[in-house]
Structure 1
Amino acid sequence: MTSLEAAQPFTVTDLKQHIYCQRISYFHLCLPDIRPVTRKMSIGIERHVDERKRAARRTMAMYGLTEGELLFDVDVTSSRLNLVGRLDQLVIAADELIVVDYKVASRHGKHQEVQLAAYAMMAEESYLLPAKRGFIYLTKAKKAVEIRISSQLRKIVESALQEMTVIQQTERMPQPTEWRQRCLDCEFRRFCNDV
């Protein structure tokens, strides 16, 4: 087994949560049956489905293209990264891939940029075209934010996956996030006991 391999593939959602707060990925990876589903999560799922319908009507101009193929709900995997996920939208142009992820939000964070980079890396492995950029579509703001899939973001993906492997193997709870305001509406707050 390489340093990125684990018993089962990680999900892109696990990776995003790990960047947001390592404890969320710890609870999901080591104690998978305790995750409560909050009302906020349920609303997000419903709005995501609605956004998919609206996205089908958008044009390629949003991505700076005149032509290309739009695919929705694309399953992507990477054996190298030991990672799986379902991408909201993939744009296949003549010489590039563009990954698009919808967020029920008015702004985005670093954890979502890392998630987008992971999708790009998996899409590259599957479609054998480069993915140098992607978009986070913010549904509340009704705008697409272009994200460059930089080497730095790619390194963060690989480093975080290595950290997740160690957490899963050792079952040791990591430190809480430095941004304690995130804990206020976290579904796992009652399990942490130190925030």
Structure 2
Amino acid sequence: MKLRVSDIKQYIYCPRVIYYQYVLPVDRKITRKMEYGRQEHLELDRLEKRRKLRRYRLTEGKRCFHTHLYSSRLDLEGKLDMHIITDKGLFPVEFKHTGRKISLNHKYQVAAYAMLLEDNYNTTVRFGFVYLNLRNEIIPVEITPGMRQYVRQILTKINWIVKEEVLPEAPRRKNCCTDCEFRKFCGDVG
């Protein structure tokens, strides 16, 4: 089954999102936050084309926007916000509309995109970036062997949830439920 990079991000946020997307598909409520984030992505694209790469601690390179990537090895696809091609290597960049610090699910989303770039360009990706636009901060993310292994484990778990039609346990941290588009379907979450 072909999965999306966003599934990895969602699984880390809450595994139940996977269940409601694949096993028991329900109408998704597009939240105000989601719509605003979509509009912000368009504005970031426009601004990023004019900026210098110095913000990424790079001197020169080529920016590529909204690249569709697929790996038959991982059976994974995604549309990367941006990647930078330099003499030093490839660097995936994910734009996030948040004033908070970088989240674990953002780091692993970048790691998954790094793996897709590796398969598509037949190279090794050592670093990526998360651009937190409300903080105007670019966070480097080192792509480690452990991160690659964890991405593969998550893909296995997602496939298991879908194949076995298993509703995962509710997340321990309930703050992620506040803005969840599937909140009304989880009867055991307050």
Structure 1 segments, 4+ long, off by >6 Å, are: none
Matched, 1:184 2:181: no
Asked if the contact 1:12/1:119 (under 8 Å) is kept, the reply is yes
Matched, 1:110 2:100: no
| Deviation at residue 181 of structure 1 after TM alignment | 1.3
Q: Any idea what SS the aligned residue of 1:90 has?
A: strand
Structure 1: 5+ residue runs without aligned partners?
1-5
Partner of 2:129: 135
Correspondent of 2:22 among 22, 29, 32: 29
Q: Any idea what SS the aligned residue of 1:187 has?
A: coil
Counterpart CA distance in 2 for 1:172 and 1:149 is 30
Asked if the contact 1:95/1:130 (under 8 Å) is kept, the reply is no
Q: How does 1:1-195 map to 2 (within 5 A)?
A: 6=1, 9-106=2-99, 107-195=101-189
Structure 2: 5+ residue runs without aligned partners?
none
Moved more, 131-140 or 31-40: 31-40
Counterpart CA distance in 1 for 2:57 and 2:131 is 15
Number of paired residues? 188
TM-score, with length taken from structure 1: 0.93
| Deviation at residue 73 of structure 1 after TM alignment | 0.8
Moved more, 103-112 or 29-38: 29-38
| Deviation at residue 130 of structure 1 after TM alignment | 1.7
| Deviation at residue 94 of structure 1 after TM alignment | 1.5
Deviations 1:11-62 (A, max 9, x none): 1111110111000111111123422211211111111111111111121212
Residue identity opposite 1:188 in structure 2: F
Q: Any idea what SS the aligned residue of 2:81 has?
A: strand
Moved more, 84-93 or 59-68: 59-68
Deviations 1:95-126 (A, max 9, x none): 41101000001222000100000000001111
| Deviation at residue 149 of structure 1 after TM alignment | 0.6
| Deviation at residue 179 of structure 1 after TM alignment | 0.8
Residue identity opposite 1:129 in structure 2: T
Moved more, 166-175 or 32-41: 32-41
Give % identity.
Answer: 36
TM-score, with length taken from structure 2: 0.95
Q: Any idea what SS the aligned residue of 1:194 has?
A: coil
Q: Any idea what SS the aligned residue of 2:131 has?
A: strand
Partner of 1:3: none
